[in-house]
Amino acid sequence: MAKYSRLNKDDAAVLLIDHQVGLMSLVRDMEPDTYKNNVLAVADLAEYFNLPTILTTSFEDGPNGPLLPELIEKFPNAPLIARPGQINAWDNEDFVAAVKATGKKQLIIAGIVTEVCVAFPALAALEEEFEVFIVTDASGTFNQITRDAAWDRMSKAGAQLMSWFAVASELHRDWRNDVEGLGALFANHISDYANLMTQYNTVKGS
Amino acid sequence: MAKYSRLNKDDAAVLLIDHQVGLMSLVRDMEPDTYKNNVLAVADLAEYFNLPTILTTSFEDGPNGPLLPELIEKFPNAPLIARPGQINAWDNEDFVAAVKATGKKQLIIAGIVTEVCVAFPALAALEEEFEVFIVTDASGTFNQITRDAAWDRMSKAGAQLMSWFAVASELHRDWRNDVEGLGALFANHISDYANLMTQYNTVKGS
Amino acid sequence: MAKYSRLNKDDAAVLLIDHQVGLMSLVRDMEPDTYKNNVLAVADLAEYFNLPTILTTSFEDGPNGPLLPELIEKFPNAPLIARPGQINAWDNEDFVAAVKATGKKQLIIAGIVTEVCVAFPALAALEEEFEVFIVTDASGTFNQITRDAAWDRMSKAGAQLMSWFAVASELHRDWRNDVEGLGALFANHISDYANLMTQYNTVKGS
Amino acid sequence: MAKYSRLNKDDAAVLLIDHQVGLMSLVRDMEPDTYKNNVLAVADLAEYFNLPTILTTSFEDGPNGPLLPELIEKFPNAPLIARPGQINAWDNEDFVAAVKATGKKQLIIAGIVTEVCVAFPALAALEEEFEVFIVTDASGTFNQITRDAAWDRMSKAGAQLMSWFAVASELHRDWRNDVEGLGALFANHISDYANLMTQYNTVKGS
Amino acid sequence: MAKYSRLNKDDAAVLLIDHQVGLMSLVRDMEPDTYKNNVLAVADLAEYFNLPTILTTSFEDGPNGPLLPELIEKFPNAPLIARPGQINAWDNEDFVAAVKATGKKQLIIAGIVTEVCVAFPALAALEEEFEVFIVTDASGTFNQITRDAAWDRMSKAGAQLMSWFAVASELHRDWRNDVEGLGALFANHISDYANLMTQYNTVKGS
Amino acid sequence: MAKYSRLNKDDAAVLLIDHQVGLMSLVRDMEPDTYKNNVLAVADLAEYFNLPTILTTSFEDGPNGPLLPELIEKFPNAPLIARPGQINAWDNEDFVAAVKATGKKQLIIAGIVTEVCVAFPALAALEEEFEVFIVTDASGTFNQITRDAAWDRMSKAGAQLMSWFAVASELHRDWRNDVEGLGALFANHISDYANLMTQYNTVKGS
Amino acid sequence: MAKYSRLNKDDAAVLLIDHQVGLMSLVRDMEPDTYKNNVLAVADLAEYFNLPTILTTSFEDGPNGPLLPELIEKFPNAPLIARPGQINAWDNEDFVAAVKATGKKQLIIAGIVTEVCVAFPALAALEEEFEVFIVTDASGTFNQITRDAAWDRMSKAGAQLMSWFAVASELHRDWRNDVEGLGALFANHISDYANLMTQYNTVKGS
Amino acid sequence: MAKYSRLNKDDAAVLLIDHQVGLMSLVRDMEPDTYKNNVLAVADLAEYFNLPTILTTSFEDGPNGPLLPELIEKFPNAPLIARPGQINAWDNEDFVAAVKATGKKQLIIAGIVTEVCVAFPALAALEEEFEVFIVTDASGTFNQITRDAAWDRMSKAGAQLMSWFAVASELHRDWRNDVEGLGALFANHISDYANLMTQYNTVKGS
């Protein structure tokens, strides 16, 4: 009855929308360093699972600024669609073409700001029968009111709300696929997890 | 499948309900100056996109007080329905007539207080098959409990919860329609955005 | 399409469940005086709109304690079902009989604690095709987590989440039915509103 | 119409997933002692109602650590599936077999972390037409954002969100089934309730 | 060494400054009904302990509005100095004369807003070697930042920060002076306390 | 210059004031179970360090209720002064006599409510040149405003604000005095600490 | 004994330190628009009371960006010391010279960030026997921890912590000096106050 | 009068106390990743300003765990005193000897937990006439109550409360000493600052 619509690493692509250094200053619903950590975690998981990744920016030559340099470095060969004006990335033909070129039906989306740059393409993609997974903690906005409204709109339209940790865990399925790799991904972005590992290895090895 | 019900500037009207100076003192789920800023942002976007706008008040000659003066000034020719007693604006024939006279099927609604002056007409309009978009951050109420309850009731009935920034962005569609105008709208109501623009222009021009 | 299921004073009954002095100490998701004020506001609106009101308690001779004295005083003739053990009031035949004896199909429910004494009868009543309106701010529980879970469960089952102010406003429909009465109800439970009235009357009368 | 899907002690099993001492340090959406108290309350109610209970762990020989010792002590004969790698317990055949061996169709689930170890098996079980009840306050995660996203995903798929207190109350149905036993369960995990009982007994007995 | 500067009912006077209905809307560091309850508790304790009480207002014929009607009713014979313009009440000779006419050296002060109408006369009175006790929870202001700054300034100058409950308790010294009276004062303003009393009396009397 | 006034187990006594089951319901500045855990931690440390401990209650035969049963059990031979009416325990001669009979000059004080039952005797004891250490997290009150005011008043008079963990740590001085005992004290009241120990022992022992 | 060190408009100068558009994005202990409003309120009061005002910036040609344009516009003739590198403005001779040239001994200071650009010159000025008044709500920093630490350091050194509203009120002394002017200052920066005035004038004039 | 006791890079040493991976899990007054970032920022500034740095641990072979690996790596030659049992590091002769061997009189202290491992040696060092500067945001504890109490105790004894950003800024004095170096330190630990720099360099260079 209730179909479990589950992320599958062979079916998924990642869309990183407008993580630009100027727009980062608008994000006030999370602490700035926490937020950046989450964004980089999504980037790392995209790379780790080898998911096709598409970058896009809005007016990167203006006040919104360039993409986070870490994203540019990590995805030198990813499509980076600098939109000439479309607010909804899905209104940009190149962007949609890039998405469709991946051949994937599951879209993992994060961006700034949640209610616009994330919600608009999410809603448009749902209309075209993509499965949409929002990385909520890598999507930032002005405050909790605007976040809650955005989540409600996307969820009602069928998007699944997740965290980067849930996305990585659902894609990985089984630790035995690679204990080291997933452990490193977690330890690099969750200090509590790194502490557990350090303590374990210390006691074990002593 | 999931239809993207999207704001369109040719299809939308704005309903500003009971933004009266007395009632403003009841709003405690946002900081007062933040809230007023959001209300004026909705007014500015209504004017900017040239959307038909309808004002209404409840007992404006009594304790509830007159409309915010800024709204009166901005919309000197808009219908202003001073309701003689109806709590739900949709129970007032003149109000409904004014709404229907706009010929628009998308209603952007904000007001005080959220669970009454916003929710009641929203629910009534949904029943008559209007599309309803609530400007959550320009709708204020007593506390977060009453807000959350109001949102849940409206959302379940089909209203879309948005912020003024999302409304403006969805209406504008493409920055190229007018970069200056939308930029000014944002800079006037989001100081972080104004700062980005000032810094950019300063460095660019230096 | 989206039917506006609206409270109607001829169709509604009020169920006050387990507002007992001992259980009041368990309520920690609102300030205690704020919470009590909300409960008394529901009692006042029930009396004001002359709605059939049913009281019930759980083990009132034990640690849970007697009903708030103000409720006993206000509803000396209302059915007060002291349940001998049923946790869900709807499992008590006398309670259900009392509800059905009112002949009303709209049930306005508040109680302690939200996820049990409110949610259980609400869910049972919905199953029997009553319309259910939860007075969220007159329903208290241990913390925000338990509240949020309870709201989600009730809302999904079809209950409408409201506040006492929304309930009173929806029942009244039009201030002209009685300006004095509704104004007094509001002023007695919303100090901000009382202040607006005092200032207005002072300036007007000066 | 709205079926009241109600917990029934003859139909329910309890799944406790990954309440491991290392993972406990990741839980930051509740105070640590509050959280542990809630987990032990679920264990106590499982024992009290004699519900089949299944324990599972993820990498218990590594950084995640062993189960909380109190759980091991309380359920010495319960199936304890130490998963060799599957992140979603439902991907582990032994776990699913143990669940199915109970013959129950109502699953009460709690675990760490909410969006992964709880949500994944919950979604999988819903797909197989189990009724799923999440014990929200015995399920912990990194922060409120990840919690809210997890709840939304599970709720939309049909899981019912509850608290341990609601679970115990719905299972018990009627205090007369055992006043002492349920009272003790509550007093042991809710200090406010213990205080009410002490005061009552003192005054009564004086 | 550390002299315990203790309130004494023979030595104390109460100064209620600018608790005007308009100014009440500026108070945002407490919930409005909580705040009003605290103000009325101070009034009740002043009456209960028969302390000389002085009222003062700022521009009561303008936007600031009249005193809370409950204060006017309770203190019909108290000096009420309507200041013609002085912001610091201590700059008003009539006010200072009224204070000095009480012959008391301990001043219990509350008012709106904390950092101005409370802090300024408090600092002035300290300079004249009065002992000053601020009723912190009956003194309101715009937000927590302005409150914290005001407290720091007053505390460093020697004012003692108290709550109305502490003031009443320190003045009363011993319950045996009047159990009924103090109990009523507490029960009228602390619902938790009223609940304890109701439960006790019920069980005792049963 | 700045004398380090340090707790010394040979010089210290513990005063537990009015931790009565009725008064517990007034404590709203901490979660109730967290608060009770802290109170019991103070009791455990008093026993562990074998500190003379004095209990006192206010009207224990009335609404305030009896002491927490756990305290009565733990200190069967401690002086328990049931004050006949004095609000400030230091106004009770038996209490002061009991304190002085200990021969200690360092007083570790906790109680309900902070601004009255803790602050008043603390201020009185400071005046008599005792050194006073407040266990802030075992002292509860109505809300954060009343807490902050109480702390300011006590701190300015010379009391040292501590937590139960700091008190235990300062008394113990060196783990080598008893690793097991202090570890058990911590593990019993800090679940995070218990988890660290369980994990350590598990890995070490494996 | 406790000297009331009171702001006096003939003795005071205003120092606005590093309110630069880039640095504004670092301020996270207040909402950005609230913070900007407070800064502009200080600017307006400086102008209104005709206080000598000194502006300074740190690296305004770099990432920190230029001063808020509104400040530049308002104080075209004020000294604006662009510090070539000194972090503490008081280490810059031109800045100190400008301060001393005002001949004022009371310094009203605000800036970004509180613990550095405000605290350092405040501490230095106190050492030179200036009286220092910090405008706490026009001084911003990263979070509440850094704010609290900064306040404690400055307060202990003798700085007085105020809000812009307290500064304006203390400088003005008496409304009769200019009702219109002060009213306008307040109405322009406190929407609640503007609402009170609008309502009053409307009712009065009707 | 008020001596500005200012950090000076020639006079200061850094004490990092018990930043052990097990103890990290006890820190609940900051987000874990935020806290770790602050600790590493202190380490980086110690290295950057070439300050003598002393590390110490408590029972590092037990549940408390080893130091954060990043600290061990950064300070391979720093004294690392593994205390055999002393809770207050100042009770360990080797630690005090190491501190005194630096010849510095200004001690910059951070550690876990604030009220014990930081406060105890801070109070002891103050007694020996060291100047003590607490890095508040690199010192973590169980919750805000324990933090506030610890701060109050240390501040009253003369410790100065700072943040790592304030420490670095006060030590550096003048950007011209090294713009690149300090900029890198800030950019590495404050993402908002990094964003400002990226945007500036991008626009400047374009």
Beta bridge partners of E110: E16
Mean pLDDT of chain B: 97
% of chain C surpassing 70 pLDDT: 99
Mutate to test the interface with D, among C59, C90, C153 (most CBs of D within 10 A): C153
Which of A99, A44, A106, A116 is CA-nearest to residue A74? A44
Residue C135 backbone phi and psi in degrees, to 5 = -85, 95
> Does C32 contact F31 at a Cβ distance shorter than 8 Å?
no
Omega before H96 cis (within 30°)? Answer: no
pLDDT in tens, B128-173: 999 999 999 999 999 999 999 999 999 999 999 999 999 999 999 9
> Does F28 contact C28 at a Cβ distance shorter than 8 Å?
yes
Q: Is E203 on the interface with D (CB under 8 A)?
A: yes
d(CA C54, CA A193): 53
Interval G114-132 mean pLDDT: 98
Consecutive H or E run containing A106: strand A106-111
Is it the case that residue A193 has pLDDT exceeding 80? Answer: yes
d(CA H155, CA H119): 10
CA atoms within 13 A on the CB side of C32: 23
Crossing angle between the packed helical segments A32-48 and H32-48, to the nearest 10 degrees: 100
Can F45 be counted among the known catalytic residues?
A: no
| Three-state secondary structure call for residue E140 | strand
pLDDT number for residue B148: 98
Query: Residues of D9-38 as b/e, b for ≥16 C-beta within 10 angstroms?
Result: bebbbbbbbbbbbbbbbbbbbbbbbbbbbb
Neighbouring subunits of E (3+ Cβ pairs under 8 A): B, C, D, F, G
Which of H167, E153, H8 is CA-nearest to residue G158? E153
In chain E, which residues have their Cβ closer than 8 Å to the Cβ of G166?
115-116, 119, 146, 149-150
pLDDT number for residue E2: 79
Q: What is the CA radius of gyration of chain C?
A: 17
pLDDT number for residue H205: 87
> Does G31 contact A31 at a Cβ distance shorter than 8 Å?
no
Mutate to test the interface with B, among A153, A155, A160 (most CBs of B within 10 A): A153
Is it the case that residue G1 has pLDDT exceeding 70? Answer: no
Query: By CA distance, what is A193's nearest residue in D?
Result: D26
Domain boundaries in chain C?
12-173, 175-206
Omega before E118 cis (within 30°)? Answer: no
Interval E61-73 mean pLDDT: 96
> Does A191 contact H33 at a Cβ distance shorter than 8 Å?
yes
> Under a CB-based contact definition with an 8 Å cutoff, are residues B164 and B137 in contact?
yes
Q: Give the gap in angstroms from C-alpha E67 to the nearest C-alpha of chain C.
A: 9
pLDDT band at F1 (very low <50, low <70, confident <90, very high): low
> Does C199 contact E21 at a Cβ distance shorter than 8 Å?
yes
d(CA G198, CA G204): 10
| Angle made by CA atoms F192, F197, F200, in degrees to the nearest 5 | 125
pLDDT band at F112 (very low <50, low <70, confident <90, very high): very high
Is it the case that residue C105 has pLDDT exceeding 70? Answer: yes
Q: State the residue for tokens 């009031």.
A: C89
> Does H204 contact B203 at a Cβ distance shorter than 8 Å?
yes
pLDDT in tens, A64-111: 999 999 999 999 999 999 999 999 999 999 999 999 999 999 999 999
> Does H200 contact B199 at a Cβ distance shorter than 8 Å?
yes
Residues of E involved in catalysis: 117
Mean pLDDT of chain G: 97
Neighbouring subunits of D (3+ Cβ pairs under 8 A): A, C, E, F, H
Q: What is the CA radius of gyration of chain E?
A: 17
> Under a CB-based contact definition with an 8 Å cutoff, are residues D173 and C86 in contact?
yes
pLDDT band at E1 (very low <50, low <70, confident <90, very high): low
Task: State the DSSP string of A17-54.
Answer: E--BHHHHTT--SS-HHHHHHHHHHHHHHHHHTT--EE
Query: By CA distance, what is C156's nearest residue in D?
Result: D155
Is it the case that residue F21 has pLDDT exceeding 60? Answer: yes
This prediction has a pTM of 0.97
> Does D136 contact C149 at a Cβ distance shorter than 8 Å?
yes
Query: By CA distance, what is B158's nearest residue in A?
Result: A156
Mean pLDDT of chain A: 97
Q: Give the gap in angstroms from C-alpha A142 to the nearest C-alpha of chain D.
A: 15
**CA–centroid distance for D165 within its chain:** 11
Neighbouring subunits of A (3+ Cβ pairs under 8 A): B, D, F, G, H
d(CA E26, CA E28): 6
d(CA G82, CA G153): 26
Selecting among G99, G117, G150, G182, the annotated active-site residue is G117
Residues of C involved in catalysis: 117
Chains H and E touch (3+ CB pairs under 8 A): no
Is it the case that residue A113 has pLDDT exceeding 60? Answer: yes
Task: State the DSSP string of H3-61.
Answer: ------TTTEEEEEE--BHHHHTT--SS-HHHHHHHHHHHHHHHHHTT--EEEEEESTT
pLDDT band at D1 (very low <50, low <70, confident <90, very high): low
Q: Is G3 on the interface with C (CB under 8 A)?
A: no
Chains D and H touch (3+ CB pairs under 8 A): yes
Interval B189-206 mean pLDDT: 93
d(CA D99, CA A25): 49
pLDDT number for residue H1: 56
pLDDT number for residue B1: 56
> Under a CB-based contact definition with an 8 Å cutoff, are residues G67 and G57 in contact?
yes
Query: By CA distance, what is A25's nearest residue in G?
Result: G25
Selecting among F117, F119, F138, F167, the annotated active-site residue is F117
In chain F, which residues have their Cβ closer than 8 Å to the Cβ of A203?
200, 203-204
Residue D169 backbone phi and psi in degrees, to 5 = -70, -40
- Read off the tokens for H58: 């408590």
- DSSP annotation of G175: G
The answer to whether the Cα torsion of G194, G197, G199, G201 is positive or negative is negative
d(CA G136, CA B128): 52
Consecutive H or E run containing F55: strand F53-58
pLDDT band at E79 (very low <50, low <70, confident <90, very high): very high
d(CA E79, CA E101): 11
pLDDT band at F113 (very low <50, low <70, confident <90, very high): very high
Q: Is F205 on the interface with E (CB under 8 A)?
A: no
d(CA C143, CA E195): 20
pLDDT number for residue H2: 79
Q: Give the gap in angstroms from C-alpha E3 to the nearest C-alpha of chain F.
A: 5
pLDDT in tens, B168-178: 999 999 999 99
**CB within 8 Å of C191: residues ≥ 6 apart:** E24, E32, E33, E35, E36
Q: What is the CA radius of gyration of chain G?
A: 17
| Three-state secondary structure call for residue C20 | strand
pLDDT number for residue A105: 98
> Does A198 contact H32 at a Cβ distance shorter than 8 Å?
no
Selecting among D14, D41, D116, D117, the annotated active-site residue is D117
> Under a CB-based contact definition with an 8 Å cutoff, are residues C120 and C90 in contact?
yes
| Dihedral class, residue C116 (left if φ above 0, else alpha if ψ from -120 to 50, else beta) | alpha
E strands along D59-192, which residues?
Answer: 80-83, 106-111, 131-135, 160-162
- Read off the tokens for F96: 């002061």
d(CA B90, CA A10): 51
| Dihedral class, residue E190 (left if φ above 0, else alpha if ψ from -120 to 50, else beta) | beta
pLDDT in tens, B83-96: 999 999 999 999 99
In chain B, which residues have their Cβ closer than 8 Å to the Cβ of C4?
123-124, 126-127, 157
Q: Quick one: fold of F12-173?
A: Rossmann fold (3.40.50)
Mean pLDDT of chain C: 97
d(CA F80, CA F54): 6
Mean pLDDT of chain H: 97
- Read off the tokens for A193: 């997890």
Task: State the DSSP string of D98-123.
Answer: HHHHTT-SEEEEEEBSIIIIIHHHHH
| Angle made by CA atoms F158, F162, F168, in degrees to the nearest 5 | 125
pLDDT number for residue C92: 98
Range 55-94 of H in CB contact (< 8 A) with A = 61, 65-66, 68-69
Q: What is the CA radius of gyration of chain D?
A: 17
H198-202: long-range pairs with CB below 8 Å, 24+: H198/A21, H198/A65, H198/A66, H198/A68, H198/A69, H199/A21, H199/A22, H199/A65, H199/A66, H199/B199, H199/B200, H199/G63, H200/B199, H200/B203, H200/G22, H200/G62, H200/G63, H200/G65, H202/A21, H202/A65, H202/A66
pLDDT in tens, H45-77: 999 999 999 999 999 999 999 999 999 999 999
d(CA A87, CA B173): 6
Is it the case that residue G141 has pLDDT exceeding 80? Answer: yes
d(CA E94, CA C123): 64
E strands along H41-199, which residues?
Answer: 53-58, 80-83, 106-111, 131-135, 160-162
pLDDT number for residue G84: 96
How big is the D-E interface in CB pairs under 8 Å? 9
Is it the case that residue B75 has pLDDT exceeding 60? Answer: yes
Consecutive H or E run containing D79: none
Nearest CB among C160, C163, C175 relative to B146 is that of C163
Chains D and A touch (3+ CB pairs under 8 A): yes
Which of A60, A49, A54 is CA-nearest to residue A102? A54
d(CA F182, CA F176): 10
Which of H204, A141, A47, H3 is CA-nearest to residue B162? A141
d(CA H68, CA A197): 11
Query: Residues of D49-76 as b/e, b for ≥16 C-beta within 10 angstroms?
Result: bebbbbbbbbbbebbbbbbbeebeebbe
> Under a CB-based contact definition with an 8 Å cutoff, are residues H49 and H41 in contact?
no
